[in-house]
């Protein structure tokens, strides 16, 4: 095998590996993608929250609680900010956690937490 052939094979392997990892989306990546976006954008993409908690002078906390009694087998649906819908398997407990967004009084998302 020549040097050119090995180099090309190495580059192809590296490219395919990079693409495979780029296609993976984790819950943390989805949550983090919303930091810096507007509360109204979140509502347009995810719908109304399960509850909104007053956070005093720091704004509010918007909470999404997954439906654990989902009898029709539908998958939970969450979106990255500005990205297509991500369909997430309900079999993975990470996706069934409570998702909270911290929002400034001006309506900007500045932090997140999932538990």
State the first-to-last Cα distance of the chain, in angstroms, to the nearest integer. Answer: 52
* Cα–Cα distance measured from residue 25 to residue 6, given in angstroms and rounded to the nearest whole number: 31
pLDDT in tens, the chain (115 residues): 566 777 777 777 766 666 555 556 677 888 999 999 999 999 998 889 999 999 999 999 999 988 765 544 344 555 566 665 555 544 445 556 889 999 999 999 999 998 8
């Amino acid at each position: 095998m020549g040097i050119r052939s090995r180099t090309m094979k190495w580059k192809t392997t590296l490219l395919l590996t990079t693409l495979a990892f780029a296609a993976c989306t984790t819950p943390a990546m989805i949550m983090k993608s919303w930091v810096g976006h507007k509360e109204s954008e979140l509502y347009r993409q995810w719908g109304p929250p399960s509850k909104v908690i007053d956070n005093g002078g720091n704004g509010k906390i918007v909470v999404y609680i997954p439906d654990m009694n989902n009898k029709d087998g539908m998958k939970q649906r969450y979106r990255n900010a500005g990205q297509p819908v991500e369909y997430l398997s309900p079999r993975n407990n990470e996706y069934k956690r409570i998702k909270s967004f911290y929002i400034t009084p001006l309506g900007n998302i500045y932090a997140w937490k999932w538990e």
